[in-house]
Amino acid sequence: MKFDSLGLSDSILKAISEKGYDQPTPIQAQAIPPVLEGKDVMAAAQTGTGKTAGFTLPILEILSKGQRAGANQARVLILTPTRELAAQIGESVDTYGKYLPLSSAVVFGGVKISPQMIKLRRGVDVLVATPGRLLDLYQQNAIRFKDLEILVLDEADRMLDMGFIHDIKKILALLPKSRQNLLFSATFSDDIRHLAKGLVNNPVEVSVTPPNSTVDLVEQWVCPVDKNRKSTVLSRLIIDKKWHQVLIFSRTKHGANKLTKLLESDGINAAAIHGNKSQGARTKALADFKAGNIRALVATDIAARGLDIDQLPQVVNFDLPNVPEDYIHRIGRTGRAGATGKAVSLVCADEFKLLADIENLIKQLIPRTELEGFSPVNKLPESRLNTKPAKLKKPKKVNPGHRDGQRSGELAAGHDHSGKPAGRNGQNQNQSGNRNKPASGNAPRRSRV
């Protein structure tokens, strides 16, 4: 199948051709036709399958045949969980819509709101937004939705994981009832299907991979190592294996900063990217990494799904993620769109339970190879797959005192969700430093994006 058989205009086909593509990926081939027909779509695809173009291409085609948006209006709203993903989608819209007379805007928190308000005055055809900043703009009368034709929820599962469900519900209540809805997610979990019940109408379901499958083209392996020698092993691997571009995942923001300094001390150009970094710093670090000016980029999971780097050869899990599904999204940064890639996890004995959870999720044991001279003192236990049926999870209890929908203005003023003055790094002084771990029984907090 070729792109020219999908019903796209010559202007869009020209832009696609200039990017060097002529055949759609499976998710694009299955999603584009029903979107063009005006149907609601639920699409499940792992990262790196080209799903962003799976909705941007048909959306641009539909918009090219309609009237322009009015002042402070948007014809298409694309909601995303992170700044990086919002920026990536914005780039896709600009790339494939370069020969169309359409306008677009990308809005997210962490930057001044005034330029975004000015951009929206004339209205835009495509608005890409994170939920919190979108509600900020709505409250300041910078955006209205009377002209809205299409709503897209991208990385819907991640938005739920990050605690955006309250904001999403508020946004849905503001939108016109008559609209086309597109829901894109890595998996169709029970939570996603529950959300879809009040969102999509008679949707066409598209799924190009089994649930929670890892990218087939990614070569995975585990390097057992003691926790206190991980940074030394990482530097040795980067230098000895001559990795010129490596994406490294750290579990915490503090750990990412510390690891970056250690890599720099070993002569490896490195930068960190996480939620505490300003948007300017995050954008510069990512641009430098893509350009080859930075050899190692250290990231937390908050930015994982927004990183789109062509031909990324190597991913390293310096720490294993607490949520096993995040492992799939981490290694999905490499092996994208048919390219090959490698992913290594540095695992200490304390992380055995996390490793076992990951292996049971992907239903395979990951090969292990120790680095010569770094055999761990605390041996990593041998794994075995669990053949017992999974236990049903109990529903999460919601904290009645939780304040949802906090705005970036409150964060800027130095207050947390409880309304109490924040301590260092904008956190309540009574809370632990890791804000990504909600206390047992509490609803997840909406992340700062």
Among 207, 234, 258, the domain boundary falls at 207
Which residue type occupies 347?
V
Q: Is 325 helix (H, G, I), strand (E, B) or coil?
A: helix
List, for residues 17-54, the tens digit of each pLDDT value.
Answer: 999 898 999 999 999 999 999 999 999 876 667 889 99
Task: Give a yes or no: residue 180 inside a domain.
Answer: yes
pLDDT at 428 over 70: no
pLDDT of residue 282: 83
- 370 or 85, greater pLDDT: 370
Task: Give a yes or no: residue 182 inside a domain.
Answer: yes
153 and 222 assigned to the same domain: no
Cα–Cα distance list, 406 to 131, 267, 417, 447 (Å): 11, 42, 7, 10
Distance of CA 127 to the CA centre of its chain: 18
Among 183, 207, 231, the domain boundary falls at 207
Task: Give a yes or no: residue 264 inside a domain.
Answer: yes
pLDDT of residue 162: 75
Q: Average pLDDT in the 168-177 region?
A: 94
Cα–Cα distance list, 220 to 52, 223, 247, 403, 407 (Å): 25, 10, 14, 41, 40
C-alpha 262/C-alpha 244 separation (Å) is 17
pLDDT of residue 306: 60
Task: Give a yes or no: residue 375 inside a domain.
Answer: no
Angle between helices 324-331 and 352-362 (to 10 degrees): 70
Q: Which of 45, 83, 64 lies closest to 206 in space, CA to CA?
A: 45
- 56 or 442, greater pLDDT: 56
56 and 125 assigned to the same domain: yes
133-158 exposure pattern, b = at least 16 Cβ within 10 A, e = fewer: bbbbbbeeebbbbebbbbbbbbbbbb
Q: Average pLDDT in the 405-411 region?
A: 44
Our count of domains for the chain comes to 3
43 and 87 assigned to the same domain: yes
107 and 192 assigned to the same domain: yes
Contact 377, 383 (CB under 8 A): no
Q: Which of 120, 126, 196 lies closest to 156 in space, CA to CA?
A: 196
**What is the Cα gyration radius of the chain?**
22
pLDDT of residue 309: 73
Structural domain that includes position 274: 218-362
184 and 267 assigned to the same domain: no
Contact 16, 50 (CB under 8 A): no
Contact 286, 247 (CB under 8 A): no
347 and 397 assigned to the same domain: no
351 and 241 assigned to the same domain: yes
Task: Give a yes or no: residue 377 inside a domain.
Answer: no
List, for residues 64-90, the tens digit of each pLDDT value.
Answer: 998 888 999 999 999 998 888 898 899
402 and 318 assigned to the same domain: no
334-355 exposure pattern, b = at least 16 Cβ within 10 A, e = fewer: bbbeeeebbbbbbbbbebbebb
203 and 333 assigned to the same domain: no
Q: Is 299 helix (H, G, I), strand (E, B) or coil?
A: strand
pLDDT bracket for residue 421 (50, 70, 90): very low
C-alpha 17/C-alpha 337 separation (Å) is 16
Residue tagged 């960190």 (tokens)? 272
Q: Which CATH number is 86's domain given? A: 3.40.50.300
Count the residues in the chain.
449
Task: Give a yes or no: residue 142 inside a domain.
Answer: yes
Contact 152, 79 (CB under 8 A): yes
Contact 27, 57 (CB under 8 A): no
Task: Give a yes or no: residue 301 inside a domain.
Answer: yes
Lowest-confidence pick of 172-176, 232-236, 289-293: 289-293
Cα–Cα distance list, 76 to 60, 105, 335 (Å): 10, 11, 30
28 and 118 assigned to the same domain: yes
- 437 or 118, greater pLDDT: 118
pLDDT at 382 over 50: yes
Token pair for residue 449? 């994006």
pLDDT at 431 over 70: no
Average confidence score pLDDT of the chain:
83
29 and 149 assigned to the same domain: yes
pLDDT bracket for residue 193 (50, 70, 90): confident
Task: Give a yes or no: residue 425 inside a domain.
Answer: yes
Among 207, 227, 255, the domain boundary falls at 207
C-alpha 241/C-alpha 250 separation (Å) is 21
Lowest-confidence pick of 186-190, 292-296, 299-303, 407-411: 407-411
pLDDT bracket for residue 387 (50, 70, 90): low
Helices (H), 23-164: 26-36, 51-63, 83-96, 114-120, 131-139, 156-161
Which residue type occupies 224?
P
Q: What is the DSSP letter of 336?
A: G
Half-sphere exposure of 376 toward its Cβ, with a 13 Å CA cutoff? 22
- 427 or 155, greater pLDDT: 155
C-alpha 362/C-alpha 379 separation (Å) is 23
pLDDT at 219 over 60: yes
Cβ neighbours, 10 Å, residue 93: 27
Beta-sheet pairing, 41-44 with 218-224: unpaired
Beta bridge partners, 213, equal: none
Q: Is 249 helix (H, G, I), strand (E, B) or coil?
A: strand
pLDDT bracket for residue 386 (50, 70, 90): confident
Contact 259, 231 (CB under 8 A): yes
List, for residues 101-147, the tens digit of each pLDDT value.
Answer: 999 999 999 889 999 999 999 999 999 999 999 999 999 999 999 99
329 and 263 assigned to the same domain: yes
DSSP annotation string for 192-209: HHHHHHTT-SSPEEEE-S
pLDDT of residue 403: 37
